[in-house]
Amino acid sequence: MPVFNEKKTIREIIAKVLAVPIEKELVIVDDASTDGTREILKEYEDKEGIRVYYHEKNKGKSGAIKTGIPHTTGEIISIQDGDLETDPNDFILLTDPIKKGEASVVYGSRYLQPKEESLYFAYKFGARFLSVVVNILYCQNITDEATCYKVFRSDILKQIPLEYDRFEFCPEVTAKVSKMGYKIKELPMHYYPRSFEEGKKMNWRDGLKALWVLIKFRFVN
């Protein structure tokens, strides 16, 4: 769980993750929060099944994920943001294909839900466009490249050399698992989008960076 300035939601999302009825560990990486999140996380340092790590300087979401991955011990790694846009109970469905040996990489898709929650039009357009780019460049068949809920066999994720630190985790890991020959399986997930006023952090510049990363790893690296 990469976390940056999520004081308003951090206690609730931790409680929701812990309540999911599957065997799990929770690795939290605070990316140098300045709003009091770090102080809240100190309350969880001695809790069973939770490990908390801190960045002294802000690196970005990908940087926090890179810090957390080596500290995981399970056979499956799932990414969980520190906000309330997603429902951790979806991990039951999303981890099942990996447990059964039917898939190695599973993404939750906000667009496979019959009653999809509304998004900013520009954000939704950008997310769908990036998915189309992935499908063309990497011969995948996905609808939601930018989804938070990405689930991996841990041995696969741990061997991927992640280069970026900001919001480029999604396109970078998607490109690299695709080049490794893994087909991404998608399943529906719940999504409750928040506004920028409520703390949403990604913007159109991150979309352009994501596009460049997808192109770079297809043709340059």
Query: So what's the pLDDT on residue 196?
Result: 55
Q: Are 151 and 107 in contact (CB under 8 A)?
A: yes
Question: How many independent structural domains does the chain possess?
Answer: 1
CA distance 220 to 83: 34
Query: So what's the pLDDT on residue 114?
Result: 72
DSSP E strands: which ranges in 23-97? 26-30, 50-54, 76-78
Query: So what's the pLDDT on residue 123?
Result: 72
Q: Are 202 and 124 in contact (CB under 8 A)?
A: no
Domain that holds residue 16: 2-219
Query: So what's the pLDDT on residue 117?
Result: 58
Query: Over its length of 221 residues, how does the chain's per-residue pLDDT go in tens digits?
Result: 999 999 999 999 999 999 999 999 999 999 999 999 999 999 999 999 999 999 999 999 999 999 999 999 999 999 999 999 999 999 999 999 999 999 999 999 999 987 655 556 667 788 899 999 999 999 999 999 999 999 999 999 999 999 999 889 999 999 999 999 999 999 999 999 866 555 555 666 888 999 999 999 999 86
Residues 6+ apart with CB under 8 A from 77: 69, 151, 152, 153, 154, 157, 158
Query: So what's the pLDDT on residue 119?
Result: 59
Q: What CATH number has the domain bearing residue 41?
A: 3.90.550.10
Nearest CA among 54, 57, 14, 62 for reference residue 38: 54
